[in-house]
Amino acid sequence: MIDRYTYRIAWSVEDDEHVGRCAEFPSLSWLAPTPAEALAGIQDLVQKVLADMRDTGESPPKPFADRPYSGRFVVRIPPETHRDLAIQAAEQGVSLNRLVSARLSGGLSS
């Protein structure tokens, strides 16, 4: 099951090493000199935590990859921002939804 979780490896300037993290277990991390060792370390740590959870009867978090997503979420923004986005969408000939979706995914420039 550890291979279904979401892992990230990044360079830590403060520690002068690579740090491995698991999104479903945000309190865990593993430092290592190489990215491969950081990944192996965090996966091993997650495996140990899952075993401990199993032994104590705790339910492990569901991997993000296995969670259902509707494709909808509500974001509150200031009215001025809403107006500006609506104008930009109109000027680009797209819906507000398409503009915001594209922006969130790194598309359509302002």
Helix (H, G, I), strand (E, B) or coil at 46: helix
| Range(s) of the domain holding residue 58 | 2-65
Tens digit of each residue's pLDDT (9 = 90 or more) over 35-90 = 999 999 999 999 999 999 999 999 999 999 999 999 999 999 999 999 999 999 99
**Exposed, middle or buried: residue 46 (CB in 10 Å: 0-12, 13-18, 19+)?**
buried
Q: Please check whether residues 82 and 52 belong to one and the same domain.
A: no
Structure tokens, 104: 């969130």
Q: How confident is the model at residue 108 (pLDDT cuts 50, 70, 90)?
A: low
60 and 98 assigned to the same domain: no
Single pTM value for the model = 0.74
Note whether 38 and 75 are same-domain residues.
Answer: no
Within 13 A of 46's CA, how many CA atoms are on the CB side? 25
Looking at the fold, whether 41 and 85 belong to one and the same domain comes out as: no
CB atoms within 10 A of CB 66: 9
Q: Read off the pLDDT of residues 2-44 as tens digits, 9 standing for 90 and up.
A: 899 999 999 999 999 999 999 999 999 999 999 999 999 999 9
How many structural domains is the chain composed of? 2
